[in-house]
Amino acid sequence: MWKPWHKKSAALAWEWSSSPRCFEQHLLRRLNNPIFLPSRRTISEQEFKTAKALDERDADAFRRAFANHVNEGQGLRGSETIGYVNDYLKRTLQLMERSAAIGGDWQREMSTLEAGVDACKKLLNSHSGSEDATLLEKAIALHSLQIYNSFLAQSFRSDCPFPRTDTDEWLRALLSEDEATIENTAIFAGGLGWNFIEQARSILTDAVRDGLPPVEARRKLGFLEAGYSKGAHMSQSKT
User: Which residues on adjacent β-strands are paired with residue 113?
Assistant: none
> Same structural domain for residues 110 and 145?
yes
CA distance 11 to 78: 55
Which of 130, 152, 174 is where one domain is finished?
A: 152
Looking at residue 123, its pLDDT comes to 87
Tell me, yes or no, whether 178 and 142 share the same domain.
no
The answer to whether residue 186 is domain-embedded is yes
Number of helical H runs and strand E runs in the chain:
11, 0
Domain count, the chain: 2
Q: Say yes or no: 230 and 202 in one domain.
A: yes
Give Dmax over CA atoms of the chain in angstroms. 64
pLDDT, tens only, 4-24? 544 444 445 678 898 999 999
Cα gap 72→88, rounded to integer Å: 9
Say if residues 189 and 231 touch (Cβ distance below 8 Å).
yes
3-state secondary structure of 192: helix
Range of the domain at 177: 162-239
Nearest to 59 by CA among 104, 96, 113: 104
- In tens, the pLDDT along 56-86 reads 999 999 999 999 999 998 877 777 888 999 9
pTM comes to 0.89
Q: In sequence order, what are the residues at sequence separation of 6 or more whose Cβ sits closer than 8 angstroms to the Cβ of residue 122?
A: none
- pLDDT tens per residue, range 120-169: 998 898 888 888 888 899 989 989 999 999 999 999 999 999 988 899 99
**Does residue 5 sit within a domain?**
no
Q: How far apart are CA 55 and CA 202, in angstroms?
A: 32
